[in-house]
Amino acid sequence: MKIIVLNCGSSSIKYQLFQMGTKAVLAKGVVEKIGLHGSFIKNERNDGDKLLLEGDIYDHQIGIEYVLGILTSEKHGSIKSFDEIDAVGHRVVHGGEKFNSSVLISDEVIKMIEDCIEIAPLHGPPNLKGIYAMQALLPNIPEVVTFDTAFHQTMPDYAYMYAIPYSLYKKYGIRRYGFHGSSHRYVSQRACEILNVDYNTQRIITCHLGNGASITAIKYGQSIDTSMGMTPLEGLIMGTRCGDMDLGVLTFLMTREELDIGTANTLVNKHSGMLGITGVSSDMREIIAEMENGNERAKLGLEMFYYRIKKYIGSYAAAMGGVDIVVFTGGIGENSDYSRAEIAKDFEFMGLEFDAEKNNGVHGKEKIISKDTSKVKMLVVPTNEELVIAEDTKTIIENQRTQNAAKLMDY
Ligand code: ADP
């Protein structure tokens, strides 16, 4: 079975073509700067063949048309025709309260995703563009959507509610939804496979630390709390997002600096976080290099970033009545041994003994980084959200085929 996974952002499309039996990625790539000057497509085949196409790409449908052309091209393609594609899996950021798992696309599902746009105005429209484009280009191929929010739909109400008038929750669906769900799900399950323990018996804290960062408490197989909220702004300090902050700061600044809503939104989403504090960069590699050169604000930013994560780990351990496993993932979590060491120190009080030697030099690979004697295990697990989407798509398509076969038997 071959499955294409699509991740459509406002001006980009990331894609991977999977051969499901072996889980091999036959080709992957990205379309960038859609609707802007200087659009381009990069495709990489699993035998190392690389292609860069430059030229204006006006919208997502044209971008996807090019991608399909590349994937089936004689010179740079990976398949002979579209008939070889069994299904398409889409990443959709916000599924609101309507979706707690991946689903097969139907008109009803599309309507429900459209209804979620009000609470996800930035992410919903480009996600839908990818779905509309695929329906137009490959109308006979089944499509599945996987939601970033779905994994967190198991949170109890006292964890997802905000303390604002209850009527506003009812009216607008204002509550914590959480994001990076496929990543938290994948790395928590994978950690249990590596440790050879039953997922449904473990209390796990997963730290997804990338440009966007979130942390999740998973108790006995279910997400019970997560740091991102109704939008991906809440929680940890991120590359350019402030994370948790007294809301009074925003209203103060809006008044004193006479900021309109758009400017205030840009301030906390694009000019804050590590970039705002350090004034150097949002990129962790550059910030660590600056800190090593003696830059005090880079040092302060890093201390704030690590401190916030430590506070969340402590509070999630309390929320679960203990913790068995802590997992690092995302660009920083997977690659920065320095960051992991700073976060992991001083947790002996709760049974976590960090092993600095095992941690040193671990970049982008699975590794247990706690001491053998440690009661709480700590691991690095590179995330693979695309594989989660591909596997969910495969499961749903196979179920549908079984149901169709059963229906035929009835006749
Ligand atoms: P996104 O949220 O955009 O998917 P990523 O998960 O790719 O982000 O993470 C990007 C972050 O990972 C950047 O801050 C980058 O500096 C950081 N990063 C990647 N490699 C390293 C490294 N070796 N050391 C420190 N930080 C790293």
Tens-place pLDDT, residues 42-72: 999 999 999 999 999 999 999 999 999 999 9
User: How far does residue 410's CA lie from ligand 1's centre (Å)?
Assistant: 54
Say whether both 30 and 120 belong to one domain.
yes
pLDDT surpassing 90 at residue 285 = yes
Determine the atom of ligand 1 nearest the C-alpha atom of 239: 14
Does some domain include residue 339? yes
pLDDT surpassing 80 at residue 411 = no
The last residue of a domain, from among 144, 169, 200: 144
CATH number for the domain spanning 267: value is 3.30.420.40
Share of the chain above pLDDT 90, in %: 94
The token duo for 77 is 């393609």
Positions marked catalytic: 148
pLDDT surpassing 90 at residue 398 = yes
For range 265-285, the mean pLDDT: 96
Count of domains forming the chain: 2
User: How far does residue 61's CA lie from ligand 1's centre (Å)?
Assistant: 30
- Quote the pLDDT of residue 409: 76
Cβ distance 167 to 189 under 8 Å? no
For range 373-400, the mean pLDDT: 97
Determine the atom of ligand 1 nearest the C-alpha atom of 330: 6
332 C-beta closer than 6 A to ligand 1 = yes
Say whether both 221 and 118 belong to one domain.
no
336 C-beta closer than 6 A to ligand 1 = yes
Q: What is the pLDDT of residues 304-322, one digit of tens each?
A: 999 999 999 999 999 999 9
Say whether both 190 and 139 belong to one domain.
no
240 C-beta closer than 6 A to ligand 1 = no
Say whether both 278 and 130 belong to one domain.
no
- Quote the pLDDT of residue 377: 98
Mean pLDDT score across all residues of the chain = 96
pLDDT range class, residue 122, cuts 50, 70, 90: confident
pLDDT surpassing 80 at residue 18 = yes
3-state secondary structure labels for all residues of the chain: CEEEEEEECCCCEEEEEEECCCCEEEEEEEEECCCCCCCEEEEEECCCCEEEEECCCCCHHHHHHHHHHHHCCCCCCCCCCHHHCCEEEEEECCCCCCCCCCEECCHHHHHHHHHHHHHCCCCHHHHHHHHHHHHHHCCCCCEEEEECCHHHHHCCHHHHCCCCCHHHHHHHCCCCCCCCHHHHHHHHHHHHHHHCCCHHHCEEEEEEECCCEEEEEEECCEEEEECCCCCCCCCCCCCCCCCCCCHHHHHHHHHHCCCCHHHHHHHHHHCCHHHHHHCCCCCHHHHHHHHHCCCHHHHHHHHHHHHHHHHHHHHHHHHCCCCCEEEEEHHHHHHCHHHHHHHHCCCHHHCCCECHHHHCCCCCCCEECECCCCCCEEEECCCCHHHHHHHHHHHHHHHHHHHHHHHHHHC
pLDDT range class, residue 77, cuts 50, 70, 90: very high
User: How far does residue 284's CA lie from ligand 1's centre (Å)?
Assistant: 6
Say whether both 238 and 289 belong to one domain.
yes
229 C-beta closer than 6 A to ligand 1 = no
Q: What is the pLDDT of residues 145-164, one digit of tens each?
A: 999 999 999 999 999 999 99
Q: What span, in angstroms and rounded, lies between the C-alpha atoms of 296 and 277? A: 10
pLDDT range class, residue 123, cuts 50, 70, 90: confident
The pairing of strands 103-104 and 87-92 is: unpaired
Pocket test for ligand 1, best of 7, 270, 332 (most atoms within 8 A of CB): 332
User: How far does residue 42's CA lie from ligand 1's centre (Å)?
Assistant: 20
Determine the atom of ligand 1 nearest the C-alpha atom of 286: 16
331 C-beta closer than 6 A to ligand 1 = yes
284 C-beta closer than 6 A to ligand 1 = yes
pLDDT surpassing 90 at residue 182 = yes
Does some domain include residue 411? no
Instruction: Tell me which of 234 and 120 has the higher pLDDT.
Output: 234
For range 206-225, the mean pLDDT: 98
pLDDT range class, residue 407, cuts 50, 70, 90: confident
- Quote the pLDDT of residue 248: 97
For range 270-275, the mean pLDDT: 96
- Quote the pLDDT of residue 408: 73
Say whether both 357 and 212 belong to one domain.
yes
pLDDT surpassing 90 at residue 105 = yes
pLDDT surpassing 90 at residue 169 = yes
pLDDT range class, residue 198, cuts 50, 70, 90: very high
Say whether both 347 and 264 belong to one domain.
yes
Say whether both 206 and 297 belong to one domain.
yes
212 C-beta closer than 6 A to ligand 1 = yes
- Quote the pLDDT of residue 121: 79
Does some domain include residue 396? no
User: How far does residue 241's CA lie from ligand 1's centre (Å)?
Assistant: 15
Does some domain include residue 107? yes
Does some domain include residue 265? yes
pLDDT surpassing 90 at residue 384 = yes
- Quote the pLDDT of residue 297: 98
Which residue is closest in CA terms to ligand 1's atom 21?
335
Q: What is the pLDDT of residues 324-357, one digit of tens each?
A: 999 999 999 999 999 999 999 999 999 999 999 9
Say whether both 264 and 128 belong to one domain.
no
Instruction: Tell me which of 404 and 382 has the higher pLDDT.
Output: 382
Does some domain include residue 405? no
- Quote the pLDDT of residue 117: 86
Structural domain of 22:
2-144
Does some domain include residue 392? no
Cβ distance 50 to 64 under 8 Å? no
pLDDT range class, residue 404, cuts 50, 70, 90: confident
Share of the chain above pLDDT 70, in %: 100
Name residue 295's amino acid.
Answer: N
pLDDT surpassing 90 at residue 395 = yes
pLDDT range class, residue 257, cuts 50, 70, 90: very high
Say whether both 139 and 185 belong to one domain.
no
pLDDT range class, residue 124, cuts 50, 70, 90: confident
Pocket test for ligand 1, best of 335, 363, 383 (most atoms within 8 A of CB): 335
210 C-beta closer than 6 A to ligand 1 = yes
Say whether both 186 and 127 belong to one domain.
no
* Contacts (Cβ under 8 Å, ≥6 apart) of 381: 186, 187, 190, 191, 194, 327, 328, 329, 334, 366
Say whether both 67 and 212 belong to one domain.
no
Which residue reads 């091999």 in tokens? 24
Does some domain include residue 156? no
